[in-house]
């Protein structure tokens, strides 16, 4: 397991339109059953966000602009957000506060 952890790569890049894309590149280009990764991204400000995961929790705090959050298996929590929020999950709770 330690070998796979050492071989996993975190890719973070800005696209031409200014989007920050963060993802894991797993060894052999696939994640095994009990493997996972989480990110905590701290930014000074953002206008709009689009967060997506296939299996995990999404949390956004203190941002603004249009927020779109999607997960197929996890909770979504948004607090102190200034702007419209679209949140979708197939298997989890959605909590909007403040």
The per-residue pLDDT for 68 is 96
- Taking the model in full, what pTM does it have? 0.78
pLDDT one-digit tens code per residue, 15-74: 898 888 899 999 988 888 888 888 888 887 778 899 998 888 999 999 999 999 999 989
Q: Please indicate whether residue 35 or residue 89 has the higher confidence score (pLDDT).
A: 89
Where in 15-82 does DSSP place strands (E)? 20-25, 47-53, 58-61, 64-71, 76-79
Give the pLDDT score at 85.
97
C-alpha dihedral, 2 to 31 to 21 to 12, nearest 10°: 20
User: How confident is the model at residue 94, as a pLDDT?
Assistant: 96
Lookup result for tokens 């929790």: 57
Backbone φ and ψ for 19, nearest 5 degrees, come out as -70, 135
Distance between first and last Cα of the chain: 41
pLDDT at 47: 82
CA 73: distance to chain centroid?
12
The total number of residues shown for the chain amounts to 98
């Amino acid at each position: 397991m330690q070998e796979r952890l050492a071989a996993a790569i975190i890719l973070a890049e800005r696209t031409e339109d200014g989007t920050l894309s963060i993802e894991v590149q797993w060894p052999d280009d696939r994640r095994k059953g009990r493997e996972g990764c989480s990110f905590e991204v701290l930014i000074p400000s953002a206008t709009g966000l689009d967060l997506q995961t296939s299996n995990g929790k999404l949390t956004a705090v203190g941002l603004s602009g249009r927020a779109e959050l999607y997960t197929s298996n996890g909770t979504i929590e948004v607090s102190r957000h200034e702007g419209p929020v679209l949140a979708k999950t197939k298997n989890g709770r959605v909590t909007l506060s403040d």
